[in-house]
């Protein structure tokens, strides 16, 4: 493995041999942010010893001390040396590149990704490290698949983007639904996926900042067997589960790239966000207005400037009690060309933020141990295989449920 300078203030990371595969380090960039902190706690609980990276050394050292007392999933406090910490700022790409070596796993929670995400992707590809992020921003996802994906494939590394609540549950439910349709000898030509939440959900400052940036970005969908540009909220959909209707409005998501790989016969894929619930129609109308305003000259730049002050970004999020009141719910349906429902799959899991931390941790473990099957930009099913995806999601409490 090649070595690169590491601006660390802690112990030297240790490489280990896992069943013949030389495992690198797990590097967590953005460790002191809301999602990063949750992920750091989860990683340590699962026995990982991530390098904690961020721009504030004092905050990193405080987190380092905090994690020293974290119990493992067995309930015991593992005796360990303090975790390594390293100062890196995405506005200085060289500092991010210095974090990773060939064979490492770079996990980043630094957003909004459309503004701040490029340095980490470039660093992973250039240094030969697998990459995982927590974004939910369609424009950044599109760049991962269309721009960075081919570069990663050429470099022999994997990119796992949007590997949290958005958009792993839909990839899981969609893959199961496609597999189920195939098992009965049917050809699915349409896939609909809806993301919802049971119970109240308080969002973090980082989520709000990402959402603010998405207001003036173009979305996408999969129509007629190809990816097309489509504004957010142009479509609505209602799915049935638990004797009620779950409504959502259309958004861009990773399913538009990953699901056709699993079933080339798919002609139409729509992904919907159901957070507006009964106000979905009003939200769709608001999205149309936002799109029209966003097309005015200078509107995008003005909105991005103002949103820095209206939505300041990383400013904390729901505590454990607040998170416990919300649960992930995702519904996927496949249909034939004639519109017949071929399969209906529902998955449920922990709160979106806890689920994201769990999934980032699981993916980091898998990548560290050489379980990633492909290179380039990937989803959970085409990255690890459907069987491993189902087992991995089950291990973090994301499972199929029946009506």
Does residue 85 surpass a pLDDT of 80? yes
Does residue 76 surpass a pLDDT of 70? no
Mean pLDDT in the chain? 85
Q: What is the pLDDT of residue 321?
A: 94
Q: What is the pLDDT of residue 99?
A: 97
Does residue 138 surpass a pLDDT of 90? yes
* Rounded Cα distance, 100 and 129, in Å: 7
Number of Cβ atoms within 10 Å of the Cβ of 40 = 29
**353: which residues sit within 8 A by CB, 6+ positions away?**
34, 35, 38, 165, 204, 317, 318, 323
Q: What is the pLDDT of residue 72?
A: 80
Domain 16-165+354-401 has CATH 3.40.50.720: yes
Number of helical (H) and strand (E) elements in the chain, helices listed first:
16, 18
Q: Are strands 268-273 and 190-198 parallel, antiparallel or unpaired?
A: parallel
Q: What is the pLDDT of residue 231?
A: 83
Q: What is the pLDDT of residue 7?
A: 35
- What average pLDDT does this structure show over 264-290? 74
Q: What is the pLDDT of residue 403?
A: 74
CATH superfamily of this structure's domain 168-352:
Dihydrodipicolinate Reductase; domain 2 (3.30.360.10)
Does residue 1 surpass a pLDDT of 60? no
Q: What is the pLDDT of residue 78?
A: 53
pTM of this prediction? 0.86
Domain boundaries, the chain: 16-165+354-401, 168-352
Q: What are the tens digits of pLDDT across the range 312-357?
A: 555 578 999 999 999 999 999 999 999 999 999 999 999 999 999 9
Is pLDDT larger for residue 196 or for residue 207? 196
Share of the chain above pLDDT 90, in %: 71
């Amino acid at each position: 493995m090649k070595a690169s300078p590491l601006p660390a203030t802690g112990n030297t990371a240790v490489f280990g041999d896992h069943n013949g595969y030389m495992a690198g380090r797990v590097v967590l960039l953005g460790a002191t942010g809301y999602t990063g902190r949750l992920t750091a706690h989860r990683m340590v609980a699962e026995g990982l010893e991530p390098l904690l990276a961020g721009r504030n050394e004092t905050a990193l050292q405080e987190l380092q001390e905090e994690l020293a007392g974290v119990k493992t999933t067995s309930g015991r406090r593992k005796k360990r040396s303090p975790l390594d910490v390293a100062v890196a700022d995405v506005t200085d790409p060289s500092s991010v590149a210095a974090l990773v070596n060939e064979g490492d796993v770079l996990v980043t929670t630094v957003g909004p990704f459309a503004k701040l995400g490029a340095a980490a992707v470039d660093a992973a590809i250039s240094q030969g490290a697998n990459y995982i992020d927590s974004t939910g921003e369609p424009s950044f996802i599109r760049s991962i698949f269309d721009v960075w994906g081919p570069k990663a494939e050429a470099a022999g590394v994997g990119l796992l983007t949007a590997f949290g609540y958005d958009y792993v549950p839909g990839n899981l439910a969609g893959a199961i639904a496609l597999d189920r349709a195939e098992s009965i000898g049917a050809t699915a030509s349409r896939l609909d996926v809806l993301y919802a939440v049971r119970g109240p959900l308080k969002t973090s400052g980082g989520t709000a900042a990402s959402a603010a940036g998405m207001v003036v970005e173009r979305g996408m969908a999969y129509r007629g067997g190809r990816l097309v540009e489509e504004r957010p909220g142009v479509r609505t959909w209602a799915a049935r589960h638990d004797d009620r209707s779950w409504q959502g409005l259309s958004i861009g998501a990773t399913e538009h790239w990953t699901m056709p790989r699993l079933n080339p016969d798919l002609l139409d894929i729509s992904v919907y966000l159901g957070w507006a619930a009964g106000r979905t129609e009003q939200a769709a109308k608001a999205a149309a207005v936002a799109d029209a305003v966003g097309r005015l000259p200078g509107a995008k730049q003005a909105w991005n400037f103002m949103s820095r002050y209206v939505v300041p970004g990383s400013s904390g999020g729901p505590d454990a009690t607040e998170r416990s009141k919300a649960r992930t719910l995702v519904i996927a349906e496949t249909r034939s060309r004639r519109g017949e429902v071929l399969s209906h799959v529902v998955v449920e899991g922990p709160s979106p933020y806890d689920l994201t931390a769990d999934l980032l941790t699981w993916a980091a473990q898998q990548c560290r141990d050489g379980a990633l099957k492909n290179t380039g930009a990937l989803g959970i099913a085409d990255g690890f295989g459907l069987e491993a995806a189902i087992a991995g999601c089950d291990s973090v409490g994301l499972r199929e449920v029946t009506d």
